[in-house]
Amino acid sequence: MRTEIAPRSSGFTLVELVMVIILIGVLSVLGIGLFAGRSAFSPLLATQQLASSVLLAQQAGLAGNGASQLDVVQGAEDFMFRIQNGGTTVQEFSIPRAGTSFSVAGASFPIVFGADGAPNIGGNAQLTFSGDSTFTLCLSSLGSVYAGSCQP
């Protein structure tokens, strides 16, 4: 006696295929919405770039090569972060402004870092980038930089 095995069907059903297409459509709409408003990320990007620039200028001052200075220039189209040591540009960064403005309370640029890594600002400086959202950095008189408002 011979038994017959029913043929196995493989593949996806029409319902499964339609569900996958719907899920891909929903995810792509959400993804486009997140990246279409790129200017919302610009203040955050500028704040992170400023924090990196402060630390780089401070490290250049600590390296014993004389005073190091950080300058931030707010141009019409972009922000320029310039680190100089002894009049020579060590590093220069530029990011687009994209509707973001920059304000400083408690200091003026350029900020000079001495051989001990402390800035010449005398007190704390609050650095704020504003656009679709607002991000604040505090540069303490000892040279530490952290996100948020300066503590008295």
Q: The domain containing residue 104 runs over which residues? A: 39-147
Q: Is residue 96 part of a domain?
A: yes
Q: Is residue 7 part of a domain?
A: no
Q: Is residue 68 part of a domain?
A: yes
Q: Is residue 125 part of a domain?
A: yes
Q: Is residue 3 part of a domain?
A: no
Distances (CA, A) of 14 to 11, 18, 98, 103: 10, 6, 46, 58
CATH code for the domain in which residue 44 is found:
3.55.40.10
**Per-residue pLDDT reduced to its tens digit, 31-72:** 776 666 555 457 777 888 888 888 888 888 788 766 788 888
Report how many domains make up the chain. 1
Helix (H, G, I), strand (E, B) or coil at 136: strand
Q: Is residue 12 part of a domain?
A: no
Residue 7 has pLDDT above 60, yes or no: yes
The amino acid at residue 133 is S
Q: Are strands 111-113 and 101-105 parallel, antiparallel or unpaired?
A: unpaired
Threshold 0.75, pTM exceeds: no
Can you give the pLDDT at residue 6?
Answer: 63
Residue 47 · residue 129 · CB < 8 Å: yes
Average pLDDT, the chain: 82
